[in-house]
Amino acid sequence: MVISQLVRETAKRLSENPLFEAEQMVMAVCNLDRTELVLKGRNEASEEEKEKVNDMVLRRLKGEPLQYIIGECEFMSLKFYTERGVLIPRSDTETLVEKILDFTDENKEYKVLDICTGTGCIGISIANYRKKAEVKLLDISDIAINLAKRNIILNNVNDRVFAEKEDILKDYPKDKYDIIVSNPPYIESDVIDTLQVEVKDYEPHLALDGGKDGLIFYRRIADIAPKMLNVGGILAFEIGYNQGSKVLEIMKKSFYNIQIIKDLCGNDRVVIGIRR
């Protein structure tokens, strides 16, 4: 079976975005980019490659996210490694990075703190597009910190981006920063079991559970952020679609010019404010 046929046969077995997912699986197994997938489509696929693709399909049919199966994803036009135990980057989160880029100047130096970093996609992306930024990534998860360190190296920002384990609900860094960003756990505890299978059965609840009302991390971070931010510094959160006004109220005590930003789907996605 040639590679192009392997893609077609794989797509027939998949139900969600079948051609795209089949191409992703075959490219991952055969170590091809999209151009090579076309140019080498008539090459014969080995039995080992066909078996690996079959295993991927079986995992996908059980509901495992494609990003975990192939071990990577794209975010802000950059590649990030992914693995079980760490939240998968979403395109919606690019809204947070884009807003930080809007607020900053590529020629200026910034110290940035990314809290609840997961894969590191937010902080690493900021460092990639702001070449003079120094970024610290924090997470309570050992798996996340180890993965973030791999992604730092993958994206060639290891001279300016550093990852450390920290339980932000118990402690916080004593350094001063110009920007704090966070995509914290924000799902209400009793809602998690109602989420789609891909999320509730495969993604880490540690990265999803924001407490009874989903706001525990926003309260904590908004409370400690003034101690870490320089005057005029920026605090920016990703939020759930129905949390904009609540997070805005939480930030009012210590921040001004607070804005709620919508994502491309028209949902509230980011709350950003400036330290008094």
Distance of CA 118 to the CA centre of its chain: 7
Arithmetic mean of pLDDT over the chain:
97
With contact defined as beta carbons under 8 Å apart, do 157 and 128 qualify? yes
Residue 59 has pLDDT above 90, yes or no: yes
CA 243 – CA 2 distance, rounded (Å): 50
Once rounded to an integer, what is the mean pLDDT over residues 67-73? Answer: 98
Confidence label for 170 from pLDDT (cuts 50, 70 and 90): very high
For 75, 97, 153, 224, the CA distances from 91, given in Å and listed in that order, are: 7, 10, 22, 28
- Structure confidence at residue 258 (pLDDT): 98
CA 31 – CA 116 distance, rounded (Å): 31
With contact defined as beta carbons under 8 Å apart, do 244 and 186 qualify? no
CATH superfamily of 76-275: Vaccinia Virus protein VP39 (3.40.50.150)
Concatenating the DSSP letter of every residue in the chain gives -BHHHHHHHHHHH--SSHHHHHHHHHHHHHT--HHHHHHTTTSBPPHHHHHHHHHHHHHHHTT--HHHHHTEEEETTEEEE--TTSPPP-GGGHHHHHHHHHHS-TTS-EEEEEES-TTSHHHHHHHHHSTTEEEEEEES-HHHHHHHHHHHHHTT-TTTEEEEE--TTT----S-EEEEEE----B-GGGGGGS-HHHHTTS-GGGTB--TTS-HHHHHHHHHHHHHEEEEEEEEEE--TT-HHHHHHHHTTTEEEEEEEE-TTS-EEEEEEEE-
- Structure confidence at residue 16 (pLDDT): 87
Q: Where are the domains of the chain?
A: 3-62, 76-275
Total count of residues recorded for the chain: 276
Percent of the chain with pLDDT over 70: 100
CA 173 – CA 6 distance, rounded (Å): 51
- Structure confidence at residue 7 (pLDDT): 97
pTM for the full model? 0.95
CA 70 – CA 76 distance, rounded (Å): 18
- Structure confidence at residue 218 (pLDDT): 98
CA 163 – CA 156 distance, rounded (Å): 14
Encode pLDDT of 111-161 as tens digits: 999 999 999 999 999 999 999 999 999 999 999 999 999 999 999 999 999
Percent of the chain with pLDDT over 90: 100
Encode pLDDT of 89-115 as tens digits: 999 999 999 999 999 999 999 999 999
Once rounded to an integer, what is the mean pLDDT over residues 175-197? Answer: 96
Encode pLDDT of 24-48 as tens digits: 999 999 999 999 999 999 999 999 9
